[in-house]
Amino acid sequence: MQVLKATVAEISPLTEYVSKVVLTPEQDAEFAAGHYLQLVLGEKDKRAFSIASSPSKKNALELHIGASGADSYAMQALDHLKAAHTSQTQVDLEVGLGVSQVRPEQARPLVLLAGGTGFSYVKSMADHLAEINYDQPVLFYWGVKEESALYAKAEMEAWANSRANFQFIPVVEHASEAWMGHTGYVHQAVMKDIVSLEPYSVYMAGRFDMIGIVRDDFITHGAQREFMFADAFAFIK
């Protein structure tokens, strides 16, 4: 874990509820794809956010923060970042946390599974896997409630088009009639597409209730527990 100070270079909206934040650390940040950082608000108050950018970008850390409700965990963090941006003061970070970073050395086909802003966690991995020319199949599933939440759809389609072994599959829970793709819960789309998850490593992020359900359903669908990765596992039973 690395303790860093950073300035807030940018805060901009990705959707009505999700903000992109770019932090400029005062020294190069060291982390692996899939790690998270903590924004330090107080000695005992540290807020976890996945790093959306690839580890090759050591001097610009991108976060995607989903915040609604004035006093929510994420909104308080966003308010702290906005105040630092306005006053051009530094924020305190702990970088390179988590145990669910991508493990390309295992050379297995991958399912990257994101629910909502869990997208941030798998986006870093997707970019990293492209940079290292990962040659196994990579299936990137992104589940959202409404189509309007797919703020990086065009970018991910371009990512998938860049390699024959990459696929991007957006899944909309409550889709409009015009939507041509998968609907419902994102992990159910995975189970429809893939007969058995036995050969796959699965990396996932989303709401805690989602992660518990996905873990259990995927194990029933053949996934091996030692090849399933989510930092949320540390927070749930």
Ligand X SMILES: Cc1cc2nc3c(=O)[nH]c(=O)nc-3n(C[C@H](O)[C@H](O)[C@H](O)COP(=O)(O)OP(=O)(O)OC[C@H]3O[C@@H](n4cnc5c(N)ncnc54)[C@H](O)[C@@H]3O)c2cc1C
Asked if 218 interacts with ligand X (CB under 6 A), we say: no
State the Cα–Cα distance between residues 111 and 138, nearest whole angstrom: 6
Q: Report the nearest approach of ligand X to the CB of residue 233 (Å).
A: 10
One of 14, 41, 48, 60 touching ligand X (CB under 6 A): 48
Stretch that binds ligand X, among 3-11, 22-30, 154-162, 227-235 (CB under 6 A): 227-235
Which residue is associated with the tokens 């986006």? 123
**Could you give the CA distance from residue 90 to residue 8 in angstroms, rounded to a whole number?**
7
**Rounded-to-integer distance, Cα 23 and Cα 62, Å:** 6
Task: Give the range of 1-9, 131-139, 193-201, 228-236 binding ligand X by CB under 6 A.
Answer: 228-236
Q: Note whether 135 and 149 are within 8 A (CB).
A: no
Torsion, Cα 98 204 168 36, to 10 degrees, reads -20
Q: Least distance to ligand X from the beta carbon of 160, Å?
A: 19
Q: How far apart are CA 171 and CA 183, in angstroms?
A: 5
Applying CB under 6 A, the span of 6-14, 46-54, 154-162, 219-227 interacting with ligand X comes to 46-54
Q: How far is the CB of 9 from ligand X (least distance, A)?
A: 17
Around Cβ 220, how many Cβ atoms within 10 Å?
10
Question: Site map for ligand X, 179-198, x if CB under 6 A?
Answer: ------xxx-----------
Nearer to ligand X by Cβ, of 124 and 201: the residue is 124
> 201-205 and 110-115 as β-strands: parallel, antiparallel, unpaired?
parallel
Q: Is 26 exposed, middle or buried (0-12, 13-18, 19+ CB in 10 A)?
A: exposed
How big is the site for ligand X, counted in residues (CB under 6 A)? 30
> From the list 210, 218, 227, 229, which residue makes contact with ligand X (rule: CB under 6 A)?
210
Sites of contact with ligand X (CB under 6 A)? 36, 48-50, 63-66, 74, 115-118, 120, 143-145, 173, 185-187, 205-207, 209-210, 213, 231-232, 235
